[in-house]
Amino acid sequence: MRSHQQIDNRRWLLIFASWLVAAVSSIGSLFFSEVMELVPCILCWYQRIFMFPLAIILLVGLCPLDKRVINYALPIAIIGLLFTLYHCLLYFGFIPENLQPCSQGVSCADEGMELFGFLPIPLLSLASFSLIIFFLLTSRFSK
């Protein structure tokens, strides 16, 4: 049986990990658009809409530790994950391109979305949202 203090420390660490993922993802996406001047497609925008607040709300829940932040952050992360899943399906061609909502501007299934030439940005987003949800759930059910 762990003490309350130990459980809280573990919870803090897991929320901290999820915040770190959200913050790195937010800064990374800003790097793509502001420094590399890649224009975000519509689906990228929706994922950013759900990623940016996570970086802030999780930080607020960390100092001092407020476990309820998990309840607030999870719905945001899950909706973000749904957008990412849709984007990945589109990107890897499981959904035909003519069904995609972004006909104007930048295509969501376009080439040139690979970081370093091999790492597709939608896949990075998928990893981020999955990790955030995983850390938050682990923190939620820490005993």
Partner 1 sequence: MKQNYTIIGAILLMALAFVMAAYLYNSQQTETKTQLVTQNSDALSKPYSPRKGNPEAKVTIVEFLDPACETCRQFHPLVKELLATYRGKVNLVIRYAPLHPGSDHMVKILQAAEKQGKFWEVLDLMFETQPYWASHHQPKPEVFWTYLERFGFDVVQLRQDMNDPEIDRIVKQDIADGQLLGATKTPTFFINGKPLSRFGYEQLKSLVANEVNANY
Give contact residues for partner 1 (rule: CB under 8 A): 12, 16, 20, 23-24, 27, 30-31, 35-36, 59, 62-63, 65
- Partner residues linked to 120 by β-bridges: 114
Q: Specify the residue, 24 or 89, whose C-beta has the smaller distance to partner 1.
A: 24
Q: Specify the residue, 64 or 93, whose C-beta has the smaller distance to partner 1.
A: 64
59 close to 137: Cβ distance less than 8 angstroms: no
CA–CA dist 125, 109 (Å, integer): 14
**Least spacing, CB of residue 53 vs partner 1, in Å:** 17
Helix axes 4-30, 121-140, angle to 10 degrees: 160
CA–CA dist 93, 89 (Å, integer): 6
**Least spacing, CB of residue 63 vs partner 1, in Å:** 6
**Least spacing, CB of residue 35 vs partner 1, in Å:** 5
